[in-house]
Amino acid sequence: MAVRQVSKFDLPDLGVGVGFRVPHYRHVVETRPEMDWFEVLSENFMVEGGSPLYHLDHLSAHYPVVPHGVSLSLGGDGEPEHLRRLIALCRRVNAPWVSDHLCFVGAGGVQTHDLLPLPRTRAVRDHVVRRIRDVTDAIGIPFAVENPSTYVAHVDDEMPEWAFLAEIAEAADCAILLDVNNIVVSGVNHGFEPMDYLAGIPAERVVQIHLAGHTTLPSGFRIDTHDHPVPDPVWALYAAAIRRIGPVSTLVEWDDNIPTWERLAEEAATARRIRAESLS
C-alpha cells in the first residue's frame, strides 16, 4: 500500500471530533469542552428555528462543524426542498465539506429512513455519479460519499463495493468519507477482507474517516448500531487506514446508548492516540 497520501481536495485536517448529539448539547454549548471538531446530523438542523438552531449556532461559533446527512438518497431521486435546506445549513455553519451515504432511502414518495443498499451495477453507478455532480454543483463545497453497512447484496451486483465506491468517486470527482466500522461490519456479513476494501479505495479522495461500535449477533452477523465502544477490529483497520491515507479528519459516532461526555471524549482521545502512532 502507498503511505501517507494526502487528499486532493485541499481540505483541512480537523483532527478527531465527535458527533453532536442531544444528551451533550447543553454541556458542549455551555462549557465548550476541548474537542477538535463536531459533525452534525444534517436533517436534525434543517429546520426553521428553535432549539436546534440555537444549539447549532452556539456550536459553530466555537468549533468547526461538518454536516453529515442520511436523506440525500443518492441512489434515488433528489428532493429540491431537502437540497435547498442542506445548502442553507452548510452556509450557516460555514461547512468545509458535506457528506451523505452511498445508498437510497425510499421510492415513490415513501421514505424508509434507512440506508438501503444499492445494486452495484454500471447503470446505478452512473445514476449516482449524476446525482453527486448535481448536489456538488448546487452546494458549492466538496461532497464526500460514505460507504454504508449492508445486510444483503443483489444477485446482479457487477463489482465489489470498494470498486463501486471508487468508480463513483472518480467519475463524480467527489470526496470519500470512509467508515471503517462499516467496512468491518459488511466484511463479516458479506465475507470479504477489510484490507482488500481499504486497498481498493483511492486514498487521495478520502477526506474523513468514521469510527463507531456495532453489535455482534450470536451467529456472528454484525449490525451497525453505533451503541458500543469502537471494537478492536475497527481500531486496527483505522490504524491501517491512517497509514495508507495520512492525517485525515476523524469522527467518532455514538448514536444509541449514548455515554457521558467524558466517556465519549475518551473514545476520541483513543482515536487521537492511534492516529498519531500510525503517522509516526
Catalog residues that contact other proteins under the rule CB under 8 A: 43, 46-54, 71, 75-76, 79, 81-82, 104-114, 116, 119, 121, 151-157, 188-191, 219-221, 223
Closest to other proteins by CB, 57 or 277: 57
SS (H, E, C) 193-260: CHHHHHHCCCHHHEEEEEECCCEECCCCCEECCCCCCCCHHHHHHHHHHHHHHCCCEEEECCCCCCCC
Closest to other proteins by CB, 7 or 42: 42
CB count, 10 Å around CB of 55?
A: 20
CB of 180 to other proteins, least distance (A): 19
CB of 125 to other proteins, least distance (A): 13
CB count, 10 Å around CB of 48?
A: 7
Closest to other proteins by CB, 184 or 248: 184
Closest to other proteins by CB, 68 or 275: 68
CB of 188 to other proteins, least distance (A): 7
Closest to other proteins by CB, 34 or 48: 48
Sequence-distant (6+) residues with CB within 8 A of 48 are none
CB of 218 to other proteins, least distance (A): 11
Sequence-distant (6+) residues with CB within 8 A of 249 are 11, 12, 13, 14, 15, 16, 17, 37, 66, 207, 208, 209
CB of 44 to other proteins, least distance (A): 8
